[in-house]
Structure 1
Amino acid sequence: MPTVDALSDRLTEYLDLQQIKAVRRAYYYAEQAHDGQRRKSGEPYVTHPLAVASILAGMHMDHQSLMAAMLHDVIEDTEVSRDGLEGQFGQTVTDIVDGVSKLTHLEFETRAEAQAENFQKMVLAMAVDIRVILVKLADRLHNMRTLGAMPPEKQRRIARETLDIYAPVAARLGMRDLQLELEDLAFQSYHPMRSKYIRRAVVQARGQRKDVIATIEESLRTRLKQEGMGGSVSGREKHLYSIYSKMKSKGISFAEIMDVFAFRVVTESVDDCYRALGVVHNLYKPVPGRFKDYIAIPKANGYQSLHTDLFGARDITIEVQIRTKEMDAVASQGIAEHSHYKIYGDSSSAIDGYNRARKWVQGLLEMQKRAGNSMEFIETVKTDLFPDEVYVFSPKGRIYELPHGATPVDFAYAVHTDVGNSCVSCRINRHLSPLSQPLQSGQTVEIITTPSAQPNMAWLNFVVTGKARSAIRHFLKVQQRGESVELGRRLLTQFLSNYGTTLDDIDPVVLNSLLDEAQFGSLDELLEDIGMGNRMAYVVARRLRPVDNGAEVEADTGSSSSGAVPLAIEGAEGMVLHYARCCGPIPGDSITGHISSGRGLVIHRTDCRNIAFMKDDAEKCIYLEWSAAIDEEFVVNLDLKIESSRGLIATLATTAAGAGSNVLKVDITETEGQLNTVHMDITVTDRIHLAKIMRKLKSLKAVHKLSRV
């Protein structure tokens, strides 16, 4: 069992006497606060915070982190208040303790909403001081080491939570040693039998491979020495959970994974890394396409190393990682290696990793602000927690790390949210490419923007980064709300005019009464609900009509002849204004609006049989007319009976195009005799334009019959 004296001896390596005394004082304070409390294993509770502090001491964390580790359960599990703790140990330590306390109950197999809400708390706490998550990860690691004292069901729940959130967060912060131990301990608790069999197989394979590993190690060491290079060579042990994950994801056997021998070369300098690469490539032949330079282009979490695969002796494959001592320390400890919390040395790799981690946390914070709810937030974040990066370049040579499968739209949002919102097309390696094309490492991506552009809802089908997904949703949500409010205002004004009043003339008392009854905080919320079709403008107008006119005046939406002023449709299709596909209305057609719950206003032709049964229902339909200022194009479906002849499809398309139309689609179905049926989708501006196109098509000899669907 660890003791505070043993911990103090370890701390003399890098902390001064005053700092060690502060850590000891925090321990004795925690010991007194937790007096009488015991863990499930029966040990005094204070052994847990002491063990957490010992884990952080192994990472050489600063004295404030160690003090917070000693005190991390005091606010939550004892009668000590935040103010009392702050009076004793200061604001910085108390803020870390308070942040960790908020992360204690991440219930990942209870309600999904609770899971997501608590994950948001984690992000907010990390944004205040990133040491909060380091203390929490150390806390989780000790809990996983002592998980055997818990009931089996609770073991599985905590293990699942660890694999879902804590291990990926540790990986994202570059803390590989902690990540691997968390994964193996969680795997052992969640799948005890699978863990047992894989461990047994690894031990057996290790014995069979010992001679091969020793031979290759000696070969690498000897060749490096011949070239006058220092450094160490060691075989890398494969971890149980990573073996299991590869077997499961790649569908390969245990033998195939264990056939690959892994080694690590640790050198003195970056220059030596590249020289060592030349040495190992000279000793064994490299596997084409299996070299990665993470020194020149570090991973998103700051990880740096050279990776290469080689064809070794005896037809075996060798994986070699080459890095400096500094890079090796950062690869193991991640942001915990950062000198911001230490009093010795300076590590550019660690600082770079720390800055990347801060940038990632700030990105999470930005997504959290834009997300509509906690469920949407955690959905977007989980994508970023499991990255398999590709590295692409901007036209000016800046490198961007993106998850595997990322598209130019993801790249655009990685550059800046405004670039993503206004992008219209892209060039990949100077060639025009679709916005949905997955990117590959090494490509140069140029985004073409225009101020009038805006995100497309279809982008959500292919973007993969959380930032892109949350930004698109946020923009569409804001746009939809604005359009809903505007449509709701127009609809309500339309019906109020039938009572001889306007929205500005409504009695505030009556309006506030209606808002209170409907539980709306403002008029805009009511208008948004009307615009979305969730509340009928007809009914709201009747509630708001002047009392003295109410008994005499009845709203009439049936036709323009009865005095109702029709609502003008501008033509630009918004998110709450839809044109019915069944009848395809175009300017010039007589139109009626059908109010659909959740969608807003759906526009039909007046003679459309799909709304015939509700056309006279004032609560569901509204009389519309086209605005004079329309410059949009509308899709029209045509059916043609034609006589089959060579080149006829080209003739039809050319004729339509000559009349100023775009041909979107042409289908042919065979019919009896010499005639075939052609279905054409074309664009028109109004009924006059459509009549002109139909006349030109009818003038063709092969066309026997033409009709609008």
Structure 2
Amino acid sequence: MGSSAALVRAKDWNLWARRHNANLASAGKVLPGLSSTQNPFICLEGSSGTISPFVLIPGVDRFRYLKYLSGISADADTLNAFGFAWQGHLGVLRADQKTPYIDHPFGVLRIITEEWMLFDPAVLRVALLHDVEEDVKIGSDTMEQCFGKEVAFLVDGVTEFGKEPGFSGMKPSNLKKWGKISRLGFKDIRVILIKFADRLHNMRTLSNVSPRKQRPKAEETLWYYRPLADALGVWKLKREFEDLSFQYCNPSIYSQIRDKRDQLAQISEVKLKREVVQRLREALSSCGEEVDVAYEQRGLLELVERLKIRREKSVGVDNMNMDFYLETYVAEDIEKLKPEDIWRVNVICKKSTDSCYSLLGRVHKVFSPVPQTFVDHIAVPCPNGHTFLHTYVNASLGKILIHIQDEEMMRRKNLGIIVDARDNPTGWYREHGRFLGGILGTLLEDPGISDSEAYGVVGRYAASIECVPYDYDLVPEERKKKYQLPFGSTILDFAAAVHPQIMLRAARAEIDGVSVPLNHRIHHGDKVRIITDQAVRPPLEWFQYLNTPKARKALSAEFKSRDNREIIAAAMAALNEESRKFYITARELVDTILFTMWVRRRGKDVDLMAVLTQIGTGDLAAKTVVEGMIYLFRDLYQKERRDLDRVNEKLSPDRRKTLYDTYDIAIYLNKDRRGILEKLTHDFRAMGFNIAGNFTVDLDDGRKAVIFKINVIKKGLITGALTEIQQLQIRGIAAEVGSDIKVLTTTQKEALLSVEQRLSESLK
């Protein structure tokens, strides 16, 4: 820019004005005097020796802004940016109707300078100006004239799509908003960095926003900004995004797990410091290494995800839907948290990377390692570039996680790309953000993608990978091309990226010459070989292994071209695989009242065949159907429970009704099997049955009978659908052990008990 600017004290301005007013008066340009109380400073813009007032800054409380800018040695253009922002937001308040709006851009500036220690001049100016284009409706042309092309580009990138000056039309979807951020962030990653600071300040002050706006803002932060922060290695920011968002997305669960974590911390922190941290400090300092040992609590959402993984392992389900987990299991799992779950210990060495390995050996001398938990992320960095040694050790508190890293690794773990911005202030932003190209390409490739699907695209591409194909025949001209795919992509995703026909006829695959299954997850830098066979007919289960819209679209088209009977058969097989996890076959499931109710809720034109066709062509996952029925089961149960509670409020205690009938159920075993009682008890309880008691009886014919006293939902107008499901589950659980099952009358139960009594007496 060809101009300069300065902040001048009011008393200095008045002295200068009096000295020059005589000359200016003859030209009709008398400069006004200023009140030192109302206007302590004036921002002046100068060009070619001519000084003119740019903007007055009234109010004594504004002094703190000017003092801060002076403290960070803000240059003339940054001072101009502040004056521009101040004038643009003058008289505007934030959502709490108390705080001046200028506090927000200044808060963004302070995050960048104080917390990130980043002083890129263009970033500082845009931090101050980022809402001016949106709120004051100043176009990019004006911004470019005042502050230059670079700042104008960044301000436009940070301005939300649909809020630019001159925009008209319907409110854009999240998909289009993210498309703009990804497109401009791909050109200059500073767009993303400023959006991070903007979103962080907004999330920290989200309590001032109306409740109806809190959850959408929190969800967008959780599913868009969090994975981007993770991809750029800014772990500290990612964690704050997680917990701030979780607080508004699931307030009750947030409170439960926060209280549980605080409770565990209170009873275990002193012991952790004394028996783990202090012991490590003493042992490691005695070896001559300059080492720091610190500890930290795991984040709240991090704990929920940890509990979810445990539950998936216990019930044998992969990638359980998070909403389903939160509604069904998390309250129970929170109570199972232990002190070992909430702590992470960081060992930070002050010397070279090699010292980390020697420290690992010394740590394992102090505490024995937990087998098969060591991961060397120094040799194989995380997708976002983080490097450390990961190990669990056996301590008095349980299995404690320890990360070993040097100071530079720790710095990059917390701040990621911001470290590059500090160390390489010129051009650092051009070396990052390639993964945004993958996000952008996918969003633009499928304009019909929903917001929820777009969330998934962003999350997967946020840790994207790059692979190279080689040695295949269908597309030889593509052999040297590199393909960027979302993190977690499989061989099949890669094959579809090269050409859909390669995926559809893929028979087997190799990575670097080693044979791998088609559902194998590829990693950055892999060289992939796909061997095709024209006789291959992809099975429906391939949909479970696909992460990219291109692959899913190609596979769906393949199934839609097949015979209808084959589609239905594939759908029933897929549905059976999911429903059997809940001890009901697909054929039983589709004949239930509950399934009919679920189908009707999908629309008046939807029937059984339509649902099966959607499953058989990949448009609807069988897992989604079963989870939807579980949600419906719970909704009906809760409704019946509330209705019954209202009725019971009017009745005396001795006349109150219950939702359950209690049955004595005998399961007959043809042969004795160790642990059968424990297995049956576990299976019944896993399906939500309340077991009032159980025992076993040896029968005269050599068989064994296991008798359970089980509460089953009463058969009513609505709950008949629930009773039917529970009856099928009881039969299914019994069938798992290859047994006959019978509901006992009182006489039959007494007869079995008399058999047991006679046998006991004969043994005496």
How would you bin the TM-score normalised by the shorter chain?
A: 0.5 to 0.7
Matched, 1:280 2:338: no
Deviation at 1:234, TM superposition (A): 0.2
Change (3 A) 1:459 1:99: farther
Deviation at 1:237, TM superposition (A): 1.7
The amino acid across from 2:440 in the alignment is L
| Identity over aligned pairs, percent | 28
Equivalent position of 1:253 in the other structure: 334
Residue deviations 1:414-455 (CA, integer Å, cap 9, x gap): 8999986985521368665542x3449999875235699999
3-state DSSP class of the match of 2:225?
helix
Change (3 A) 1:152 1:332: same
1:236/1:263 contact within 8 Å kept: yes
The amino acid across from 2:140 in the alignment is R
Residue deviations 1:485-528 (CA, integer Å, cap 9, x gap): xxxxxxxxxxxxxxxxxxxxxxxxxxxxxxxxxxxxxxxxxxxx
Q: How does 1:215-230 map to 2 (within 5 A)?
A: 215=274, 216-230=276-290
Equivalent position of 2:94 in the other structure: 39
3-state DSSP class of the match of 1:233?
strand
**Which among 362, 369, 377 is matched to residue 437 of structure 2?**
362
The amino acid across from 1:90 in the alignment is G
The amino acid across from 1:32 in the alignment is Q
Q: TM-score, normalised by structure 1?
A: 0.57
Q: How does 1:253-402 map to 2 (within 5 A)?
A: 253-260=334-341, 261-267=343-349, 268-312=351-395, 314=396, 316-339=398-421, 342-343=424-425, 355=431, 357-375=432-450, 378=454, 381-382=457-458, 384=460
**Which among 121, 126, 132 is matched to residue 68 of structure 1?**
126
3-state DSSP class of the match of 2:186?
helix
3-state DSSP class of the match of 1:153?
helix
Change (3 A) 1:418 1:7: farther
Change (3 A) 1:310 1:128: same
3-state DSSP class of the match of 1:262?
strand
Distance 1:382 1:354 in 2: 20
1:125/1:132 contact within 8 Å kept: yes
1:292/1:307 contact within 8 Å kept: yes
Equivalent position of 2:109 in the other structure: 53
Equivalent position of 1:165 in the other structure: 224
Distance 1:283 1:388 in 2: 38
Distance 1:288 1:388 in 2: 30
Distance 1:302 1:4 in 2: 37
Equivalent position of 2:153 in the other structure: 95
Deviation at 1:243, TM superposition (A): 2.4
Change (3 A) 1:581 1:160: closer
2:375/2:390 contact within 8 Å kept: yes
Distance 2:300 2:360 in 1: 28
Matched, 1:30 2:90: no
The amino acid across from 2:283 in the alignment is R
Distance 1:275 1:209 in 2: 29
Matched, 1:470 2:470: no
Change (3 A) 1:236 1:413: farther
Residue deviations 1:441-476 (CA, integer Å, cap 9, x gap): 99987523569999979686143333xx43664x78
Distance 1:458 1:390 in 2: 27
Q: How does 1:526-541 map to 2 (within 5 A)?
A: none
Deviation at 1:222, TM superposition (A): 1.4
Equivalent position of 1:137 in the other structure: 196
Q: How does 1:559-708 map to 2 (within 5 A)?
A: none
Deviation at 1:53, TM superposition (A): 0.9
3-state DSSP class of the match of 1:236?
strand
Change (3 A) 1:417 1:302: farther
Deviation at 1:79, TM superposition (A): 3.8
Matched, 1:4 2:65: yes
Change (3 A) 1:207 1:269: same
Change (3 A) 1:81 1:117: closer
2:183/2:437 contact within 8 Å kept: no
The amino acid across from 1:169 in the alignment is L
Change (3 A) 1:68 1:250: same
Deviation at 1:323, TM superposition (A): 1.4
Distance 1:186 1:328 in 2: 25
Distance 1:142 1:430 in 2: 50
1:407/1:462 contact within 8 Å kept: no
Deviation at 1:167, TM superposition (A): 1.9
Residue deviations 1:304-359 (CA, integer Å, cap 9, x gap): 111111112x2621110111222212111121221478449x9xxxx7x985x522
Deviation at 1:281, TM superposition (A): 1.5
Q: TM-score, normalised by structure 2?
A: 0.53
3-state DSSP class of the match of 2:87?
helix
2:130/2:158 contact within 8 Å kept: yes
Distance 1:407 1:465 in 2: 8
2:391/2:401 contact within 8 Å kept: yes
Residue deviations 1:82-130 (CA, integer Å, cap 9, x gap): 1111111111111111011135879xxxx99812222222211211211
Equivalent position of 2:271 in the other structure: 212
Equivalent position of 1:520 in the other structure: none
The amino acid across from 2:404 in the alignment is I
Deviation at 1:581, TM superposition (A): 7.0
1:113/1:374 contact within 8 Å kept: no
Equivalent position of 1:81 in the other structure: 139
**Which among 243, 258, 265 is matched to residue 184 of structure 1?**
243
Change (3 A) 1:239 1:70: same
3-state DSSP class of the match of 1:286?
coil
3-state DSSP class of the match of 2:179?
helix
3-state DSSP class of the match of 1:266?
strand
3-state DSSP class of the match of 1:121?
helix
2:81/2:125 contact within 8 Å kept: yes
Deviation at 1:217, TM superposition (A): 1.0
The amino acid across from 1:363 in the alignment is G
Equivalent position of 1:604 in the other structure: none
- Structure 1 gaps of 5+ residues are 12-16, 481-573, 583-709
Change (3 A) 1:81 1:443: closer
Distance 1:308 1:302 in 2: 18
Residue deviations 1:144-183 (CA, integer Å, cap 9, x gap): 1111222222222222222222222222222111121222
Change (3 A) 1:389 1:576: closer
Equivalent position of 1:426 in the other structure: 509
Change (3 A) 1:147 1:291: same
3-state DSSP class of the match of 1:338?
helix
Deviates more, 1:426-435 or 1:451-460: 451-460
3-state DSSP class of the match of 1:300?
coil
2:294/2:347 contact within 8 Å kept: yes
1:76/1:101 contact within 8 Å kept: yes
Aligned-residue CA RMSD in angstroms?
Answer: 4.4
3-state DSSP class of the match of 1:259?
helix
Change (3 A) 1:282 1:21: farther
Change (3 A) 1:425 1:212: same
The amino acid across from 1:115 in the alignment is N
